[in-house]
């Protein structure tokens, strides 16, 4: 699931720039940021109803539905236009709410207190491999440079200024997003096949029609003291995700010294995914020997790693490379391809650590209200995320550094307070969580320890496939949209990548209000299936990019996000106990986050090699004839 979506986030802003320059009427230049903002906004509102939908659909079907909305959004990149892009972006907000709530629910349902660390580590290890899958996809879909000049010089259709960044042609966008769509469709299928039987002594309460979550009960979750203290952590987590999957990859293509390295985004995705995945497996191994390692110690490692990455970014990135192509000098270090890869390693380590510790604490602080806890956590982070994404064109590298480092250390302090309170409460009620003897084993049934491990692995594998397609395409969606826009301004806005993502978040926010209800009806498995199918649908639209299809599927993807994430949490909790929830969560996310590495490798093999007649990429805008120096994606390459 994440291989498709997370990987594309790393390129969505340059892609939208490319499309906008070719066809200004199709999409806005900063649609990558604006689209993500719309996703966050919808995600915020949808999180209010996510536990209610989870109670109806179940964690599995919330995951299915959420993942399908991811697919729907990615499909709009085949015909980029601001309408389908923003519509599906809004719908994707719903998909996000369903997916994350379902994910948390599924993890706790299939983990016990003894297996939660292992399961969380395994889940995240698999999930974070999405960037590797997405990077591989990008390698195979990126068009190589021509060899008749030294750098990418592309003429804009909009202005007479020379722009120094990577342009994505329409064919390149369709080729890459075709690969992203394929893996998200695979995630839809995997989510549909997830086991639903909860493990014995799981953290999650029994999920049946009599225990559905009402809206009033969901609203009461806002008053939970632990959730209020964890607000900063949720905010940091979202901003961290936006940084590694969209903002920083955009700077690689907006920095003149790096814009000619067309395979760099793919390598970045692969390295990020591998480091994220390996960190997940490392956490899963260490937490077996070190008690509570996946809580505060893991978060500390993540915050320090991410802060170091931000420091390197501050020293080696032009101040305004986050929003516009530039050839300005850096603060200290000259841009080179090795620094981004080092930053990718630090980002990968930090991402897995923060995700694992966040999942574990959300599952443990209030297990009887797990759906509300997961959805409220997303409500907080997506609400602020929507605001930040809309303001992204105004935020420089220095501002990002100050914001992210402050959030990192504030998260550590507040997390420690929550841990202390939670451990004190657990000692007073320990008999409520543990049984004095193991449940009997029945012939023909898989051992519980193996069953919940299998569930966590399959859930992580599903996210790996889904986000290999969707996340990987996010890394190039903005340049892709720019490329399409330059060739056909009427098709899509230049910034449709950002605007579409904003539409996804907008619908995601709204759909989270109903996600728990939908989850209660569908169950976690089928919610995952439906959500992943919407991811695939969105990616399918990149074969014929137009603003109508793009924004419509983006809005639908918001629904897919809500279903997917709600059911993802539901499926996790259904197949975890208090002992296995940490392990299962780490395993699931470890696999899922490797999607960027897989996506990067895919991009390596899909990028067209440069022709022998030119050393650089020359693109002249169809409307103004202005030369723009950035990577263009052809229709075939897309």
pLDDT digits (tens, 9 = 90+) for 406-465: 999 999 988 888 887 766 666 655 544 444 444 444 444 445 667 778 888 888 888 888
Q: Is 56 a residue whose pLDDT tops 60?
A: yes
What average pLDDT does this structure show over 259-275?
86
Report, as an integer, the average pLDDT of 291-312: 91
Tell me which of 160-169, 225-234, 334-343, 518-527 is least confident: 160-169
pLDDT band at 206 (very low <50, low <70, confident <90, very high): very low
The verdict on residue 206 lying in a domain is: no
Using DSSP, how many helices (H) and how many strands (E) does the chain show?
A: 24, 12
Residue 433 counted as domain residue: no
Closest CA to 474 of 73, 128, 41: 73
Q: Does pLDDT of 385 surpass 90?
A: no
Calpha distance 42→96 (Å, rounded): 9
Mean pLDDT of the chain: 78
Up-side HSE of residue 183: CA atoms within 13 Å toward CB?
Answer: 45
pLDDT tens-digit readout, 160-194: 444 435 678 888 888 888 888 888 898 889 888 88
What pLDDT is attached to residue 406? 92
Rounded Cα–Cα distance for residues 7 and 75 (Å): 14
Q: How far apart are CA 106 and CA 112, in angstroms?
A: 12
Calculate mean pLDDT across residues 72-92. 91
| Rounded Cα gap, residues 567 and 250, in angstroms | 31
pLDDT of residue 171: 86
* Residues 253-273, mean pLDDT to the nearest whole number: 86
- The answer as to whether 633 is a domain residue is no
What's the mean pLDDT in 37-51?
79
Q: At what angle do helices 170-192 and 477-487 cross, to 10 degrees?
A: 140
* Predicted local distance difference test score (pLDDT) of residue 375: 57
Kindly tell me if the per-residue pLDDT of 395 is higher than 70: yes
Q: Which two tokens stand for residue 91?
A: 């719908």
Q: Does any domain span residue 320?
A: yes
Domain that holds residue 354: 2-200+213-428+449-628
Q: Range with the lowest mean pLDDT among 141-155, 406-420, 492-506, 596-610?
A: 141-155
Provide the greatest CA pair distance for the chain. 77
* pLDDT class of 368 with cuts at 50, 70, 90: low
What is the average per-residue pLDDT within 349-377?
71
List the structure tokens of 452: 């919940």
Phi-psi region of 620 (alpha: psi -120 to 50; beta: other; left: phi over 0): beta
Q: Residue 610's pLDDT is what?
A: 63
Q: Interhelix angle for 338-365 vs 296-316, to 10°?
A: 150
At how many degrees (to 10) do helices 264-286 and 116-127 cross? 170
Contact 277, 283 (CB under 8 A): no
Q: Does residue 243 sit within a domain?
A: yes
How far is it, in rounded angstroms, from Cα 161 to Cα 374? Answer: 47
Residue 612 has pLDDT above 50, yes or no: yes
CA 142-485-602 angle, 5° bins: 15
Q: Is residue 128 predicted with pLDDT exceeding 70?
A: no
Q: What is the rounded distance in angstroms from the CA atom of residue 528 to the CA atom of residue 99? A: 7
CA dist 536 and 530 (Å) reads: 10
Q: Is the pLDDT of residue 290 over 80?
A: yes
Q: Model confidence over 615-635: pLDDT tens digits?
A: 444 445 555 455 453 567 788
What average pLDDT does the segment 275-282 reach? 84
More confident residue, 100 or 86: 86
Does residue 143 sit in helix, strand or coil? coil
DSSP designation for 144 = P
Q: How far apart, in whole angstroms, are the C-alpha atoms of residue 295 and residue 443?
A: 36
Q: pLDDT band for 369, please (50, 70, 90 cuts).
A: low
Question: Does residue 441 lie in a domain region?
Answer: no
Is residue 378 very low, low, confident or very high in pLDDT (cuts 50, 70, 90)? low
pTM: 0.59
What percent of the chain has a predicted confidence (pLDDT) above 90?
11
Least confident window among 102-111, 139-148, 192-201, 567-576: 139-148
**Cα separation, 433 vs 204, whole angstroms:** 11
The mean pLDDT value for 230-240 works out to: 81
Lowest mean pLDDT: which of 254-258, 511-515, 539-543? 511-515
Decide if 436 is inside a domain.
Answer: no
Mean pLDDT of 190-214: 65
Residues 6+ apart with CB under 8 A from 484: 18, 19, 22, 23, 26, 27, 80, 168, 169, 170, 173, 491, 492, 545, 633, 635, 638
pLDDT of res. 208? 42
Q: What is the mean pLDDT of residues 202-223?
A: 49
What is the pLDDT, as a whole number, of residue 438? 42
More confident residue, 249 or 623: 249
pLDDT at 107: 83
The confidence score (pLDDT) of residue 572 equals 82
Q: Is the pLDDT of residue 72 over 90?
A: yes
Tell me what pLDDT residue 365 has: 65
Q: Does residue 247 have a pLDDT over 80?
A: yes
Q: What is the pLDDT of residues 558-597, one digit of tens each?
A: 898 888 888 887 888 888 887 787 778 778 877 787 777 7
Q: Which helix (H) or strand (E) holds 494?
A: strand 493-494
What average pLDDT does this structure show over 83-112? 87
Task: Give the residue with greater pLDDT, 204 vs 237.
Answer: 237
Cα–Cα distance between 117 and 125 in angstroms, integer?
Answer: 12
Q: Phi/psi class of residue 58: alpha, beta or left (left: φ > 0; alpha: ψ in -120 to 50)?
A: left
Q: Which two tokens stand for residue 381?
A: 């982070």
What's the rounded Cα separation, in Å, for the pair 232 and 118? 25
Whether residue 208 is contained in a domain is answered as no
Residue 159 pLDDT grade (very low, low, confident, very high; cuts 50, 70, 90)? very low
Instruction: Tell which wins on pLDDT, 40 or 307.
Output: 307
CA dihedral sign of residues 17, 22, 24, 27: negative
Number of domains the chain contains: 1
Residue scoring higher pLDDT (60 or 199): 60
Max mean pLDDT among 78-82, 500-504, 599-603 falls in 78-82
| pLDDT value for 292 | 80
């Amino acid at each position: 699931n994440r291989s498709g979506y997370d990987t594309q986030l790393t390129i969505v802003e340059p892609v939208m720039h490319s499309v906008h320059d070719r066809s200004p009427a199709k999409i806005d230049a900063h649609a990558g940021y604006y689209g993500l903002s719309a996703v966050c906004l919808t995600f915020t509102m949808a999180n209010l109803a996510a536990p209610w939908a989870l109670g109806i659909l179940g964690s599995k079907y919330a995951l299915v539905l959420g993942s399908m909305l991811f697919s729907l959004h990615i499909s709009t990149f085949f015909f980029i236009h601001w309408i389908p892009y923003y519509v599906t972006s809004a719908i994707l907000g719903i998909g996000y709410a369903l997916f994350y709530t379902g994910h948390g629910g599924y993890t706790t349902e299939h983990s016990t207190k003894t297996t939660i660390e292992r399961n969380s580590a395994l889940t995240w290890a698999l999930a974070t491999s999405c960037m590797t899958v997405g990077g591989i996809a990008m390698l195979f879909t990126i068009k190589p440079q021509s060899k008749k000049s030294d750098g990418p010089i592309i003429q804009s259709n909009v202005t007479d200024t020379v722009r120094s960044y990577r342009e994505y042609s329409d064919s390149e966008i369709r080729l890459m997003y075709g690969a992203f769509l394929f893996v998200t469709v695979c995630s839809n299928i995997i989510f549909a096949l997830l086991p639903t039987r909860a493990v014995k002594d799981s953290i999650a309460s029994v999920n049946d029609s009599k225990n559905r979550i009402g809206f009033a009960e969901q609203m009461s979750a806002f008053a939970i003291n632990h959730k209020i203290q964890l607000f900063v952590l949720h905010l940091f987590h979202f901003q961290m995700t936006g940084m590694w999957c969209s903002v920083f990859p955009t700077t690689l293509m907006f920095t003149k010294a790096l814009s000619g390295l067309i395979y760099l985004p793919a390598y970045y995705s692969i390295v990020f995914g591998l480091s994220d995945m390996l960190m997940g497996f490392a956490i899963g191994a260490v937490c077996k020997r070190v008690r509570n390692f996946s809580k505060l110690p893991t978060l500390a490692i993540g915050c320090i790693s991410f802060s170091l990455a931000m420091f390197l970014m501050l020293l080696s990135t032009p101040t305004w490379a986050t929003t516009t192509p530039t050839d300005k000098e850096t603060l200290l270090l000259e841009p080179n391809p090795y620094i981004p890869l080092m930053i990718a390693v630090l980002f990968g380590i930090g991402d897995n650590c923060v995700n694992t510790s966040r999942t574990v604490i959300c599952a443990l602080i209030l297990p009887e209200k797990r759906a509300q806890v997961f959805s409220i956590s997303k409500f907080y982070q997506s609400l602020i995320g929507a605001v930040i994404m809309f303001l992204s064109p105004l935020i420089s590298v220095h501002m990002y550094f100050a914001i992210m480092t402050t959030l990192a250390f504030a998260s550590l302090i507040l997390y420690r307070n929550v841990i202390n309170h939670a451990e004190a409460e657990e000692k007073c009620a320990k008999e409520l969580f543990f049984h004095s003897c193991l449940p009997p084993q029945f012939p023909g049934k898989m051992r519980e320890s193996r069953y919940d491990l299998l569930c966590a692995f399959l859930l992580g594998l599903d996210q790996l496939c889904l986000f290999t397609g969707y996340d990987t395409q996010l890394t190039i969606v903005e340049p892709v949209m720019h490329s399409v826009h330059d060739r056909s301004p009427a098709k899509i806005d230049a910034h449709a990548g950002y605007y579409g993502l904003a539409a996804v978040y907008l619908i995601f926010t709204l759909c989270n209000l109903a996600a728990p209800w939908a989850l209660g009806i569908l169950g976690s498995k089928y919610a995952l299936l439906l959500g992943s199918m919407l991811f695939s649908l969105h990616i399918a639209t990149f074969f014929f990019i137009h603003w109508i299809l793009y924004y419509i599927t983006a809005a639908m993807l918001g629904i897919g996000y809500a279903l997917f994430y709600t059911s993802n949490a539901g499926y996790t909790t259904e197949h975890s106990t208090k002992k296995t929830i940490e392990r299962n969560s780490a395993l699931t996310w470890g696999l899922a986050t490797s999607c960027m590495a897989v996506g990067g490798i895919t991009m390596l093999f899909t990028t067209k090699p440069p022709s022998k007649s030119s050393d650089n990429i020359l693109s002249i805008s169809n409307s103004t004839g202005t030369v723009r120096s950035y990577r263009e994606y052809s229709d075939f390459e897309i």
